[in-house]
Structure 1
Amino acid sequence: MKLHSGDLYWNKTMDANSKFDKITKSFHTEILIVGGGMSAALTAHVLAANGMEVTVVERHRIGEGSSAANTGLLQYTSDKMLSDFVDDIGEEQAVLFYKMCLNAMKHLDSINAQLSDDTEYINKDSIYYASSDEDVQKLKVEFEYLKKYQFPVEFLTNEELIKRYSIDKPCAIKTCGDAEVNPFKFIQALTQMNDELGVRYYEHTEIDLDNLIENKVFTIDGHSITCEHLILTTGYVKQYPAIHNKSKINRTYAFCSKPLSSSPWKDEVMIWETKNPYLYFRTTKDHRIIAGGLDEEIDYVEENQNFILAKANDIKNQIQSIFPEIDIEISYAWNALFGSSVDGLPFIGRDPQMKSVYYLLGYEGNGTCYSMAGALILNDLINNKKNPYEDIVKVNRKKGVQN
């Protein structure tokens, strides 16, 4: 399955600093991770740092799958509000899930601080505004839940939002503890550190995902890899039987602008909204605007660049309706697939039938945050330790199954 199409930006900000061989013979490894994106990089790091023998296999190049199309907004808040999770899975589990995400953000901060290269990782606040007056009460309820459990949050009235950020919307929640990143640079820098930790990487090697068995996989060239634990971080390439009735694939659009002469808005906060599908946008170190939206329930990428550019212009116009003084010129425009789950939760944990097989599939819009949380969960599972979050996101949870 093709994951993105159009003119990407992140992979043009640097050359991949690592080039790895293709698998040419059979071998054994303690941990085999299939996939070479953000989930694989973070999981390989956590496991290798804990003394495990780790091998990562990618069908193309490291970091050039879905991660290259990521807009790089890292937030502890989810596409699905805490208050909505409370209604669906109960207050205790909902709060625990949000704490998992906040804890993941702190771990991402820590890992980035260890990287030798600049990944354009910057701690930022987020503004989550009410798209219409009808959403005001919903945001107030959400704020009260976040405040009750001491999440870093602030409520902004229309007057405060205009005065502080020049955003004329009914109200907003401001969250702290978030960040932005160049996902391609982050993966390349982390891959380099993982390589130094002893992680073995292979590129241009496709695994036969349709014939998985316990402790053994085959490349499409016929080479076998035996392992004690198999971790699938393949994103949206395949909907496995364990999740096929709990998930779906959608399409989103994004663009990167030309650099602006100065900061386009106060503190260059990351901005998104309550409407669904929602607009989301941020800046870069050189004052470009990265934005996305116009999500569609379509499971294949659009190839027509003129169509993609037209969608990007629609997104641009939405931003300029908020900040009419900004003159945005689009440099890059693309579309990409992303996964969503019926219950709004990612899929992290053991396969229900094959106990040596694990999934880290960060479905929903918080993929990098879920990847970090998943790496920590899988490390505990593999080491037979109870993780406080494992039951919420496990693959065979009862919630979220379609009729």
Structure 2
Amino acid sequence: MKLTTGQTYWDKTAKPADRFTTLEKSIDTEILVVGGGMSGTLTAYKLASAGKKVTVVDRDEVGKGSSSANTGLLQYCSDTMLSEFVDRIGEEDAVLFYKMCLEAMRELTEIASTLPETTGYRLRDSIYYASTENDVDKLKREFSYLEKYGFPAEYLSNEELMERYGVDKPAALRTWNDAEVNPYQFIQALTAENLKMGVTYFEHTSLDMDSITDDTIQTGAGDTISFESLVIATGYSKLYRELNDKAQINQTFAIATKPIEGELWKDNVMVWETKKPYLYFRTAPGGRMIAGGLDQESSDLHENAEVILQKGQEILDEITEIFPHLEVEIDDSWNSLFGISKDGLPFMGRSAETATVYYLLGFEGNGTCYSMAGASIILDLIEGNQNKYAHIVKPSR
């Protein structure tokens, strides 16, 4: 399945950490990670750091799948509000899930501090604004839960939002402990660290995902990979049978603008909104802006570059309504797939069908944060340790 069309931006900003050979023989490994994107890379890092022998196999090139289409907004808040999760899964689990995400953001920040600055990882505040007056009460209720449990958040009235950020919207939440990242550079830098820890990589190697047994999988060429544990970190490339009635694949649009001089807006905050589908945007090094939105309930990506550019211009027009002083032009525009779950939660944990198989699928719009949390969950499950978050996101829920 094609994951993106158009011209993405991030993969033009760095060279791969290395080029890896195609697997052309049968091998065995302790842990096989399928997928070399953000999820697979973070999983390999976490497992290798714990002393596991890890092999990563990607059907294309490391970091070139949906990760290269990621807009790089990293937040502990989910597409689904904490208050909405309280209604869906109960207050205790809702709070646990948000604590899981906040812990994951802190771990990502710690990992990033060990990597080269070229990963573009920067701590940022986020502004989550009410798209209409009707959403103000929703934001107030959300803030009451965030405040109750000590999450880093602040409520801003229209007056405060205008005075501090020049955004004329009814109200907003400001959150912190969030971050921005160049996902492609981050993956390449982390891959270099994984190689130092002995992780083995193979690229341009397809796997027959329907051939999985308790301890083997077949490559497209007919070779066998034997494993003790297998982690499926394939992003949105396949909707697995176990998840068929729990998830779907949609599409979204994104842009990177040409660079301009000067500050785009105050504090380079990351901005998103309560409307669904929502607009989201951030700054990037060199005076660029990265933005996305206009989600569609379809997995049929557009091939026409003019259509993709038109959608990108619609995104840019929405942003310039908020910041009319901006005079920016689109440099790159793309259309990509993303997965959503019916309950708003990712799928991370042991398969209900095969005890040696684990899913790490960060469905919803917070995939990097979820991937970090999921890597920790899977490590605990493999080692037989209790994990207080695992029951919330288990694929069999």
Query: Common fold, TM-score beyond 0.5?
Result: yes
After superposition, the C-alpha distances for 1:120-150 in whole angstroms (9 at most, x for unaligned) are 0000000000000000000000001000000
Alpha-carbon distance in 1 for matches of 2:362, 2:259: 31
Measured after TM superposition, the shift of residue 116 of structure 1 is 3.4
Query: In the alignment, which residue of structure 1 is the partner of 2:253?
Result: 253
TM-score normalised by the chain length of structure 1? 0.98
Query: In the alignment, which residue of structure 2 is the partner of 1:363?
Result: 363
Alpha-carbon distance in 2 for matches of 1:191, 1:319: 35
Larger deviation: 140-149 or 204-213? 204-213
Query: In the alignment, which residue of structure 2 is the partner of 1:339?
Result: 339
Query: In the alignment, which residue of structure 2 is the partner of 1:78?
Result: 78
Alpha-carbon distance in 2 for matches of 1:287, 1:167: 19
Query: In the alignment, which residue of structure 2 is the partner of 1:156?
Result: 156
Q: CA RMSD in A?
A: 0.6
Query: In the alignment, which residue of structure 2 is the partner of 1:275?
Result: 275
Measured after TM superposition, the shift of residue 226 of structure 1 is 0.3
Q: 1:75–1:369: 8 Å Cα contact kept in structure 2?
A: yes
Give the AA of the match of 2:10: W
Alpha-carbon distance in 1 for matches of 2:266, 2:165: 6
Give the AA of the match of 2:376: L
Alpha-carbon distance in 1 for matches of 2:157, 2:384: 48
After superposition, the C-alpha distances for 1:52-87 in whole angstroms (9 at most, x for unaligned) are 000000000000000000000000000000000000
Query: In the alignment, which residue of structure 2 is the partner of 1:401?
Result: none
After superposition, the C-alpha distances for 1:10-38 in whole angstroms (9 at most, x for unaligned) are 00011112100110110110000000100
Query: In the alignment, which residue of structure 1 is the partner of 2:205?
Result: 205
Give the AA of the match of 2:275: K
Alpha-carbon distance in 1 for matches of 2:309, 2:213: 43
Query: In the alignment, which residue of structure 2 is the partner of 1:349?
Result: 349
- Deviant stretches of 4+, over 4 Å: none
Q: 1:117–1:189: 8 Å Cα contact kept in structure 2?
A: no
Alpha-carbon distance in 2 for matches of 1:69, 1:111: 22
Alpha-carbon distance in 2 for matches of 1:108, 1:17: 20
Query: In the alignment, which residue of structure 1 is the partner of 2:244?
Result: 244
Measured after TM superposition, the shift of residue 117 of structure 1 is 5.2
Query: In the alignment, which residue of structure 2 is the partner of 1:313?
Result: 313
5+ residue gaps, structure 2? none
Are 1:394 and 2:367 matched, yes or no? no
Alpha-carbon distance in 1 for matches of 2:262, 2:121: 19
SS at match of 2:229: strand
Q: 2:17–2:191: 8 Å Cα contact kept in structure 1?
A: no
Alpha-carbon distance in 1 for matches of 2:46, 2:17: 21
Query: In the alignment, which residue of structure 1 is the partner of 2:284?
Result: 284
SS at match of 2:344: coil
Alpha-carbon distance in 2 for matches of 1:312, 1:211: 40
Measured after TM superposition, the shift of residue 118 of structure 1 is 1.8
Alpha-carbon distance in 2 for matches of 1:262, 1:79: 31
Give the AA of the match of 1:325: H
Alpha-carbon distance in 1 for matches of 2:116, 2:125: 24
After superposition, the C-alpha distances for 1:165-221 in whole angstroms (9 at most, x for unaligned) are 000000000000000000000000000000010000000001101222111001000
SS at match of 2:295: strand
Query: In the alignment, which residue of structure 1 is the partner of 2:108?
Result: 108
Give the AA of the match of 1:311: K
Q: 1:16–1:188: 8 Å Cα contact kept in structure 2?
A: yes
Measured after TM superposition, the shift of residue 280 of structure 1 is 0.1
Alpha-carbon distance in 2 for matches of 1:122, 1:116: 12
Alpha-carbon distance in 1 for matches of 2:263, 2:256: 15
Give the AA of the match of 1:350: R
Distance 1:128 1:117, change over 3 A: closer
Query: In the alignment, which residue of structure 2 is the partner of 1:34?
Result: 34
